[in-house]
Every structure is written in structure tokens, then in C-alpha cells.
Structure 1
């Protein structure tokens, strides 16, 4: 229990320190953004490369893990979409942002340091199995739904969807890190000594810098406008999605470690990717920004609660 509390305080403490540093103007304007670019563009891709190049499945069935997690995503995304369109009366394009914001967990910047600190390398290996497919699947789903609900003719154009998907996919440094790590793993080769030391140097600082820059970024995004939709989507993200992941993990008989990681990953707040998707498609930026900030603040309590729940159920 003491290790759990210490890890939670450490992870969210770094986020809070980053926020205070930006809020107090201790950091010069743009410094937080530059740290974030370094974390996402360099340090985290190197960490993902190192992790996936050495990943050990530890008996977890990747397909079963993916079925559990993405089943929770599908139902949560649908709930977020319906809240925006049926309850709040927004158009279908904003509904897509509602869906992605309520189901897109911050697996990389927040998830890796938290899971690693609590479950060690075996837990990191499991969350890496989710990260390997998470971003591509969420990107493809967003592109397809905007193709259907966007300003076009309402029909699905596979060639256009594929071009848009591949363009965004291979321009993302996190995807490059994932694919490079998996490719290197399949070669069975060891990294040369100097290369290994360089990889370790970047990978070892990725977590703290990512968390600090995430906190600084929250100050930049802030909270503005109507909070009711963001609060509703935050509740869906932090309560419904992990609850669904827990139910599916039990129903499908997911191994204990994989089940715990799946539920905790589902309980994480929304990440910056939901805001970036809103920006790319030119709608719902304020909603995504509000929801990301609120869900991160609320996750200090809710994610802690879900960690206790899975500890009691799965040991």
C-alpha cells in the first residue's frame, strides 16, 4: 500500500510541479511546450523503442487483452458521442470529439510512468502491448467517423481514409518508436554498446520529463467555456470506461496482471491526442481542452480508487 501511495504521489506530483512552474511563470514562455516536444518527439519514442524491442508477453494473450480494452473503448466512445449529440444537442462532428475525448487514455505520458512504478517491468510490457495498437486504432476510428460525419458527402471513401491515416501515422514519432522497437525485436539482435547507452540515456529521463511537461501543458490548455460537457465526458472516461474494462476482464478471464493493467489504463485521464485530433479536424477544441484538464485533475482520486479496486479483486 505504501508503495502504491508513493508512486501515485510521485507521478501526479511531477505533473503538479510542471503546472506550478508554468503557472508561476518560473518557466519562460514556450519552455513547457519545448519540453513537451522533446518528450513526445525524442525521449518517449526512444523509451517505446527500448520497451518494445525487449517486450516479454509474460503469459498475457495479446488478442484477449486487446478485445477487453477495445470493447471498453467502443462502448465508452459510443456513450460520449451520444451524450454530446442526444443529451446536449451538438452536431455529429462534435459528437466524434466527445467520443474520442471520453475514451482516449493518456497511455504514454502518464500511463507508462504510473504502470512501471506500480507493476514494474512486467506491467510495462503489458501496457506496451496496448500502446502498440492503441494510437493507430484510435486514429483510424477518428478519421473514418469524420469521413462519415464531416462536411463531405457523408460517404466513406476508403482511398481518402487510407491516405489520411498513413500520413498521420508515419508522421507521429511515437508510432515510429513503436514500429522500430517491434522491428528490432524480431531481428533478435543486441544493440551495440554505445547505441544501447544512448538509448538508455534518453529512455531513463522520458518519464519524469513527460510528466513535468504534461503539467506545464495543462496550464497552457486551461479551462474555458461551458464546463458541463467536459464534466460529463470526464465522468464517462474515469468511471464508466474502467468499470467496463473490469467487467470484460472478468468475463473473458484475463490473467491478473493483464487485467489490472487494462483497468488502470482505462482509468487514466484523456491525453493531448484528443485535443490534437480536434485541432486537426477543426472542431471541439475547447471541449477537448476542458475535458483533458478536468479529467487529469480528477484522476488523482479516481485512478487511485481503481488501483485499490483491482488490487482487491485480482490480488
Structure 2
């Protein structure tokens, strides 16, 4: 694939993510949710599960899908994590509110660090081989189960109705609103083929499991976060199938 073919699909995902973020902020003006719960709604609405995204890309579109999903991840993982860390730093109950605190939180975020290191290695044409590569392969295979186990351990079944409404709201934003916005943008830009399908798939996958870890570390509502991750993961089985099956590109 070429960067030119992927430019508009990537732009569609960036814009749809920013629109959903704006919807969440505007909605908070009316619903006036608690700060910690707001951070979980925000993460639930804008973050994506890269493991599920790459796995589905490979399953549905083969090697081209893997290459494209990596291209999308390289752009989106930095954007979504910077947004999430900044929101957590400002609204989280256990975080610093200063600019220096926000910058410190960004420099300590492992996903941002990993993405930047990966991009640097790619620019320098460096490759990991041999035993070290195999070690990272083993670690990557364990990442999704371990993250979901941590989420499951923090899952609370019984919640106040206001929190349940917020969880449903975040789930709808992630699984319905963002894909619909992305589909509209993809058609507006005239994008077609596998890159367009990958963009729509990106927008439809569930919330990232490591959002729960960030919520715990920076004073978010980790109980609500665990529920949002669980609900988006389970319901995405239906929504991803329906969305990809309904859109002709």
C-alpha cells in the first residue's frame, strides 16, 4: 500500500476521534458528571484496542491489513494516549493539574514511548531479530489476556444508575457514533478499498484494556472504566460484524 492511499482514511479516523472527544466535552456541560467518571467516559469513547484491531485486520485483509493497521496504530496511538493523559491529568482525582505534571505524565506513558521508539527504529531502518524478537512475540501474545484479566478483576457488577447510564453512553459513542462518523468521512473523502475498510474497522473496535490501568494510576473511575471495556469488548462482536457487513466500499 502507499501512504497516499492511506492519507484520507487516517484523516477520517483522526477527525472522527476528535469529534467524539468534542461530543464528550459538550455532553459533560449538560450532564455534569463527576471528574473521575468523566475521564472514564472520555477514554471509553476515544481509545481503541490495538490488539483486537491488528488481529481482525490480519484475519479479514491478510498481510495488507496487517501493514495498514500498523500504519494506523503508529498515528493513532500517540494521539489517543496524549489526549487521554492530558484529560486524566486535568480531571483525574489523583493527578497533578499543572503543565509540568501533564508533560511528566506524557513522558512516562509507556505506549507513547513505545510508539515513538518504533517510529524511530523504522526511520533508522533498524530491525529486531533472533531471540529478542521471539521474546517480544511471546510478550505480545500475553498482552491481551493479561489486560483483560486485570479489567475483569476490577469489574463491579452492581452500580448506581447514573454510572450505568454513563457506561452505556461511552459504549454507544465508541461502538456506534465513532464508526458512523468515520463511515461518513470516508465517503466524503472518496476513500475506497482496504484502507477505507481498515479505517472503519479501527473506529469500530472496543476500548483499550490498558485504559483501566491509566484510570487506576491517575485517579479515574476505574470501576466504570472496567465496565466500559467489558461492555465494548462483548458488544463489539455484534457491532463490528454488522458495520463491516453493511458498508460497501
What TM bracket, shorter-length normalisation? 0.7 to 0.9
Q: Which has the larger radius of gyration?
A: 1
8 Å CA contact 1:269–1:296 kept in 2: the answer is yes
Measure how far apart 1:188 and its partner are.
3.9
Unaligned 5+ residue runs, structure 1?
1-55
Structure-2 change in CA distance of 1:182 and 1:140 (3 Å): closer
Asked if 1:222 corresponds to 2:155, the answer is yes
1:30-69 to structure 2, matched below 5 A, reads: 57=2, 59-62=4-7, 64-69=8-13
Measure how far apart 1:105 and its partner are.
1.1
Of 138, 141, 149, the residue aligned with 2:83 is 141
Runs of 4+ in 1 over 6 A off after TM superposition: none
Structure-2 change in CA distance of 1:272 and 1:157 (3 Å): same
Structure-2 change in CA distance of 1:69 and 1:187 (3 Å): same
Measure how far apart 1:121 and its partner are.
1.6
Of 184, 187, 200, the residue aligned with 1:263 is 200
Corresponding residue number in structure 1 for 2:216: 279
Measure how far apart 1:238 and its partner are.
0.5
Measure how far apart 1:136 and its partner are.
2.2
8 Å CA contact 1:102–1:236 kept in 2: the answer is yes
TM-score normalised to structure 2 length: 0.82
**For this pair of structures, how many residues does the alignment match?**
244
CA distance in 2, matches of 1:218, 1:145: 21
1:178-189 to structure 2, matched below 5 A, reads: 178-188=115-125
CA distance in 1, matches of 2:140, 2:87: 33
8 Å CA contact 2:39–2:92 kept in 1: the answer is no
Structure-2 change in CA distance of 1:149 and 1:215 (3 Å): closer
Corresponding residue number in structure 2 for 1:30: none
Corresponding residue number in structure 1 for 2:243: 306
8 Å CA contact 1:79–1:99 kept in 2: the answer is no
Corresponding residue number in structure 2 for 1:44: none
8 Å CA contact 2:155–2:223 kept in 1: the answer is no
Asked if 1:75 corresponds to 2:19, the answer is yes
Measure how far apart 1:242 and its partner are.
0.6
CA distance in 1, matches of 2:152, 2:58: 26
